[in-house]
Structure 1
């Protein structure tokens, strides 16, 4: 198709449930402008100059250009810097501006979920000291904020090792999430859905992260509006969250069932079908500025919700506490 338009849910929920408006993302095939690629580095984080070409087109053959904009790099590279965090149970990239992760990737298998070598009571929430202090999310930011410290990779997915579970408790794996009705309910059921996929697929990879989507206001204009918690204000509260799921058949070069979902950071009724939040992966890419499957050939792709049933098994939160521990996500 030369032009396809998709609707992204772009409103927070009211107390009675998840309200929604539509933010349209056009996927018209266009020639992208040239970009400069920079390589993000994890700790230790030296600041090498970016890989920029020094070849410039002279404004005249005989005269050298009178300016050198790239000379600013002699004082350091301004950024943005993506703080990569490779850990036992996850790999993530951190957004210093919002003090939230940009994306967090995990890998779950039937074996990883069957092993039970960790106890949540031995894990504690910690600040990520690998991130410079001035850009770091702080424990005090969440104190009395009204939001949960919402795991992007849940602790229940890392029971195979205490170190792996501990890794999920760094604030660089957290975002402020609405508690009752979302983090402790619908979002938790969604995480359980991802785990249950391992009953059908031997390898499941999940990328999770926040979004900050526009909402149409009374004057007809679209604006991005989100809260910032902390005193002074430090951590942005996402309007939405996404998950991009790669359910692999376990065969090298085999088929991959691909699914993408966008959920509002709001109370969602437990009987809301998960498929109501399904979107093409391109919608998440355009909304986030990220690319998830550009190296996955179309011939290898399957739509997850056509290959398996995308539905939740709703459990009361008290029952989840018995299975996975208090405040699991």
Structure 2
């Protein structure tokens, strides 16, 4: 059992993480992530990650980008029971970051035209009002395109995941951004386990901050503002079946391309293997020791679990 393993094994190979706040210790919320392990940079690329435990999720906050690199959540039939509706609360600053490090603030998003895009969705915890409220931290948000993405097809994907959790009893979900330094990237269909090509373009507006609200061409400056991702990924794992589905969706208005296509049909064009998400993010997933065949999860494309 993972619970019996010592800290050195559970966190072996993970980059140094700040421990200035009790919530920074991943072991305090290991019930959330122990079946899959914590995402880990595949190489020492210098990224500075602060882990923060919340009620239903753990976030790996990128202190330079002011967004999470990943958020792991455990959704159950109980947490997604739809007992409560979305709370009328605002996003707030993350309080568990290292001294001298500030995450995103209201001014970064205000008047930017971008949505505050939950990574662990509030509705994933509709059975627990306090857990819903606890999703409204900027360490759980990235700038997302609004009406044609975050408020439509991405929300529909979240709805399907919640339905799956209620049906299966438990799923573990990993969500995060795909950031591009180059102008664009294309991974051919033959390189992906699901046979879908991935083509992404770096957003024209690479970050949002108070300084560029009225003129998006004004740069936010080094270390300022929240980075706008080129895409979002979502990895859905059923621990009972040991089956995984993964999606990568460009952070754009999808209405022109989707038109009246049903959600499941449209989403099928964005299904990818986990190894494709790893190639795009520089992260390694399914790091839990002795729990599963990580290689088979990365390199296969089982039938969709969503319906």
Q: Which runs of 5+ in 1 are unaligned?
A: 1-34, 46-78, 250-254, 312-329
Q: Which residue of 2 aligns with 1:129?
A: 95
Q: State TM-score, norm by structure 1.
A: 0.63
Which residue of 290, 293, 296 maps to 1:297?
293
**Distance in structure 2 (CA, Å) of the matches to 1:124 and 1:223:** 31
**Is the counterpart of residue 93 in structure 1 residue 67 in structure 2?**
no
Q: Do the aligned partners of 1:42 and 1:85 also contact (CA within 8 Å) in 2?
A: no
The answer for the alignment partner of 2:226 in structure 1 is: 235
Over alpha carbons, which structure has the higher Rg? 1
1:14-51 Cα distance to aligned partner (Å, 9 max, x none): xxxxxxxxxxxxxxxxxxxxx97533234428xxxxxx
| 1:170 to 2:137 alignment | yes
Partner SS, residue 189 of structure 1: helix
More displaced 10-residue stretch of structure 1: 263-272 or 35-44? 35-44
- Number of paired residues? 234
5 Å-filtered alignment, 1:249-264, equals: 249=240, 255-264=241-250
- Secondary structure class of the residue paired with 1:146: coil
The TM-score with structure 2 as length reference comes to: 0.68
**Correspondence 1:195 to 2:162:** yes
Taking a change above 3 Å as real, the CA distance of residues 230 and 288 of structure 1, as seen in their structure-2 partners, is same
Partner of 2:303: 306
The answer on whether the counterparts of 1:43 and 1:85 sit within 8 Å (CA) in structure 2 is no
Counterpart pick for 2:17 among 28, 35, 40: 40
Where in structure 2 are there 5+ consecutive unaligned residues? Answer: 1-11, 23-45, 186-199, 212-219
Provide the residue aligned with 1:25 in structure 2.
Answer: none
Distance 2:174 2:294 in 1: 19
Counterpart in the other structure of 1:182: 149
Residue by residue, what CA displacement relative to the aligned partner does 1:91-148 show, whole Å, maximum 9, x if unpaired? 11101111110101111111222262x4533432111122256531010111110101
CA contact (8 A) 2:272 2:301 kept: no
SS in 1 for 2:65: coil
- C-alpha change, 1:183 and 1:141, in structure 2 (3 Å) is same
CA–CA distance in 2 between the matches of 1:227 and 1:183?
Answer: 18
1:139 is aligned, of 97, 106, 109, to 106
| Structure 1 counterpart of 2:238 | 247
State which drifts further: 255-264 or 107-116: 107-116
RMSD: 3.0
- State the 1:231 CA deviation: 2.6
- Residue 91 of structure 2: SS of its match in structure 1? coil
1:166 positional shift = 1.4
Q: Does 1:209 align with 2:186?
A: no
Query: 1:298/1:147 Cα in 2 relative to 1: closer, same or farther (>3 Å)?
Result: closer
What is aligned with 2:124?
Answer: 157
